[in-house]
Amino acid sequence: MVLALAVLGISSSAVLVRLMSAPPVAVAAWRCLFAAVLLSPALRYAKGMTGRDLRWIGLAGVFLGMHFAAWFASLDYTTVLRSTVLVALVPVWTGLLEWALTGRRPPTPFWVGIGLALLGVASMSTGEQGTAGWKGDALAAFAGVLWSVYLLVGRDVRQRVHIGTYMCLVSGFASLSMWPLAFATGTPVWGFPLATWGWLVVATLGPQLMGHQGFSYAVKYLPASTIAAIMLLEPVGSSALAAAVLQEWPPATALLGGAIVIAGVLVALRAAPVADEPDAEAA
C-alpha cells in the first residue's frame, strides 16, 4: 500500500515541475527545505544515532539533491514522457551497483522482468511528438544513476533510523547541497509567482513526502533493486498526467508500452526476495 501511494506521488512530480516558473536548482532547494521543516518533529526519534549514521544520511542527501536538480533540468529540454522513461532506467543501474557493491546478484527472473519492463518504456517513446534533445536525455539518464546511488547509500542506515528522522535529515542535507550551487551559479531563488510557491507546496506534500518517503520506508524491508523495479511504473502515471494537464499526448504505442511495463514489474517483483517482515513503524 505504501509503495502504491509512493508511485502515485512521484508520477505527479514532472508535471508539477513543468507548472512552476522557477529554475531547477531553486525548485530542488526549496522543495527539500519545505520537506525537512515539515518533518522536523520526527527528530525526536533521533536518539541513538551515531556519527557514522549521520555521515551516510548526509551523503544520501547530497545524491538526492543532485538527482532532483538533474531531473528537473531535463524537463526544460525534453518531454515529460521521454524524461521519465530515461529516469526509469534506475533498476538497471541499481541492480548492477548492488551486485558490484554487495555481491547480491538479483536472480535471473528479476532481470527477465526488468528487460520486459524496459522494452515497455522504450516502446512508450516510439513515435513521440514534442521537444526532445540529447541534453535533456543525458540529464534524465544521469538523474537515474544518481537516484540509484541514493537508494543504495540510504539502505544500510535506514535499517536503524526512524523513517521520519531519516527523511527529515536527508531532505535537509539535500537542500543544503543545493543552496551553494544556486548562489555560485547566480540562480534566482525567490521572487517567483505566487502560483509557483503553491505548486512547490503541492510537490512537497505529494512527490516528496508521499512519494520519496514511501520508497525510503519500503527500502528497510525490500532490496533496493526491488524498489527500483516498482519505479518503472512512474512513466505510465506521468504520461497520463502530462496528457491531461499539459496536453502532451503520448502516441498510441504508449498504451501498449504501459501494459508491458506493468507486466515486467510484476515478473521482477515475484522474483525479488523480501528482506524482512515490516514491524509496527508507521509510514
Decide: 109 and 269 in contact? Cβ < 8 Å.
no
Q: Report the percentage of the chain scoring pLDDT > 90.
A: 35
Check pLDDT > 50 for residue 50.
yes
Check pLDDT > 80 for residue 228.
no
H or E stretch at 181? helix 163-184
Residue 279: per-residue pLDDT: 42
At 281, is the pLDDT very low, low, confident or very high (cuts 50, 70, 90)?
very low
The pTM assigned to this predicted structure is: 0.80
CA 172 to chain centre: 16
Check pLDDT > 80 for residue 34.
yes
Q: Which three cell numbers stand for residue 125?
A: 517513446
Q: At what angle do helices 51-74 and 24-38 cross, to 10 degrees?
A: 140
At 282, is the pLDDT very low, low, confident or very high (cuts 50, 70, 90)?
very low
At 96, is the pLDDT very low, low, confident or very high (cuts 50, 70, 90)?
confident
C-alpha 157/C-alpha 171 separation (Å) is 15
The DSSP result for 123-160, as a single string, is HHTTT--S---HHHHHHHHHHHHHHHHHHHHHHHHHTT
Residue 171: per-residue pLDDT: 94
Q: Which three cell numbers stand for residue 177?
A: 547541497
Domain ranges of the chain: 2-271
Residue 133: per-residue pLDDT: 66
C-alpha 275/C-alpha 30 separation (Å) is 34
Report the mean per-residue pLDDT for the chain. Answer: 84
Structure confidence by residue, pLDDT tens digits, 101-128:
878 787 888 888 888 888 887 776 665 5
Where is mean pLDDT largest: 35-39, 48-52, 77-81, 229-233? 35-39
C-alpha 6/C-alpha 170 separation (Å) is 17
Check pLDDT > 50 for residue 269.
yes
Q: Fill in the amino acid letter for 54.
A: L
Structure confidence by residue, pLDDT tens digits, 146-203:
988 988 888 788 788 888 899 899 999 999 999 999 999 999 999 999 999 999 999 9
Check pLDDT > 60 for residue 129.
no
At 224, is the pLDDT very low, low, confident or very high (cuts 50, 70, 90)?
low
Q: SS3 for 47? A: coil
Check pLDDT > 80 for residue 252.
no
Residue 76: per-residue pLDDT: 87
Q: What's the sign of the alpha-carbon dihedral 57, 63, 69, 75?
A: negative
Query: Cβ neighbours of residue 112 under 8 Å, at least 6 residues apart?
Result: 267, 268, 271
> Radius of gyration of the chain from Cα atoms?
18
C-alpha 245/C-alpha 13 separation (Å) is 12
Greater confidence (134 vs 27) lies with 27
Give whole-number Cα distances, 124 to 79, 83, 99, 120, 255, in Å: 12, 11, 28, 6, 7
Q: SS3 for 75? A: coil
C-alpha 14/C-alpha 185 separation (Å) is 23
Where is mean pLDDT largest: 53-57, 230-234, 264-268? 53-57
107: left (phi over 0), alpha (psi -120 to 50) or beta: beta
